[in-house]
């Protein structure tokens, strides 16, 4: 949400208020949790009467959607910024950089990460038309790595392991939607790596390893990244 020079003062003021609502909403998300998020409490911290805030955000669910989109966009921006510093021809390093950027953002923003990738918020369903685009930014970057590697002949795929017919149809649909040429085996491996990456990050963010199991969990994460790069077949 950025200012535009053609906006009227009133429109700019509204834009700033919306930014403040999202900022305070994320603060409440961190302290109260998504299920307890209250639009009236956000209005109070913003200095508005509760009736006034509804001119900007109609409901708690709309506030949650704003926070979901904001979180996905912030995560996507972090990944894009990290990728901008990497040689595009180094496919394995691009994949590692994506993983590191996801982990760093998740550890810095655990409450927003939990909203995006944790347990569903009771009674809330994210509207696909608003959240699918922002929510798929990271996986699209991963797909670009695998597709670029395939086109460059820098990925080893065992064609002997053919996908079952129903899965192959699903993978063909994904191939068409994303405009990629990679074969079934590579897409399936890539989907495994995507799920495993977020599983590794979630284990750390949600404390599933235990407090004292590892001196520095990043050491384990780097091992996991190497295994994921290998599983996709990047060479």
Please give the chain's pLDDT, 235 residues, in tens. Answer: 555 567 888 899 899 999 999 999 999 999 999 999 999 999 999 998 888 999 999 999 999 999 999 999 999 999 999 999 999 999 999 999 999 999 999 999 999 999 999 999 999 999 999 999 999 999 999 999 999 999 999 998 766 556 788 999 999 999 999 999 999 999 999 999 999 999 999 999 999 999 889 999 999 999 999 999 999 998 7
234: which strand partners?
A: 155
List b or e across 56-72, with b for residues whose CB sees 16 or more CB atoms inside 10 angstroms.
bbeebbebbbbbbbbbb
Which domains are present in the chain?
7-58 (1.10.10), 71-232 (1.10.357.10)
Using alpha carbons only, what angle is made at residue 105 by residues 171 and 174, rounded to the nearest 5 degrees? Answer: 10
Specify the DSSP class assigned to residue 223: H
Helices (H) and strands (E) in the chain, counts: 11, 0
Task: Note the pTM of the prediction, 2 decimals.
Answer: 0.92
User: E strands along 49-169, which residues?
Assistant: none
Q: Cα dist. 173→118, 134, 229, 230 in Å? A: 27, 20, 24, 25
- The span from the CA of 93 to the CA of 81, in Å, is 14
């Amino acid at each position: 949400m950025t200012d535009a020079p053609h906006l009227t003062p009133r429109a700019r003021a509204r834009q700033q208020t919306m930014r403040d609502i999202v900022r305070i909403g994320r603060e409440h998300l961190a302290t109260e949790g998504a299920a307890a998020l209250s639009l009236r409490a956000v209005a109070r911290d913003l200095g508005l009467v509760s009736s006034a805030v509804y001119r900007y955000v109609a409901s708690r669910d709309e506030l949650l959607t704003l926070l979901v989109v904001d979180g996905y966009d912030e995560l996507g921006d972090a990944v894009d910024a990290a990728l901008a510093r990497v040689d595009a021809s180094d496919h394995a390093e691009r994949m590692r950089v994506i993983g590191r950027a996801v982990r760093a953002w998740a550890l810095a923003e655990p409450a927003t990460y939990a909203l995006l990738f944790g347990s569903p918020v009771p009674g809330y369903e994210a509207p696909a038309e608003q959240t699918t685009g922002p929510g798929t930014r990271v996986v699209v970057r991963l797909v670009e790595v695998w597709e670029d590697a395939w086109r460059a002949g820098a990925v080893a795929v065992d064609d002997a392991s053919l996908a079952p017919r129903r899965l192959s149809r699903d993978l063909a649909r994904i191939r068409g939607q994303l405009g990629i040429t990679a074969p079934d085996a590579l897409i399936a491996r890539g989907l495994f790596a995507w799920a495993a990456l977020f599983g590794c990050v979630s284990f750390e963010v949600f404390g599933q390893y235990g407090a004292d199991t590892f001196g520095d969990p990043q050491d384990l994460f780097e091992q996991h990244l190497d295994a994921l790069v290998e599983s996709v077949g990047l060479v």
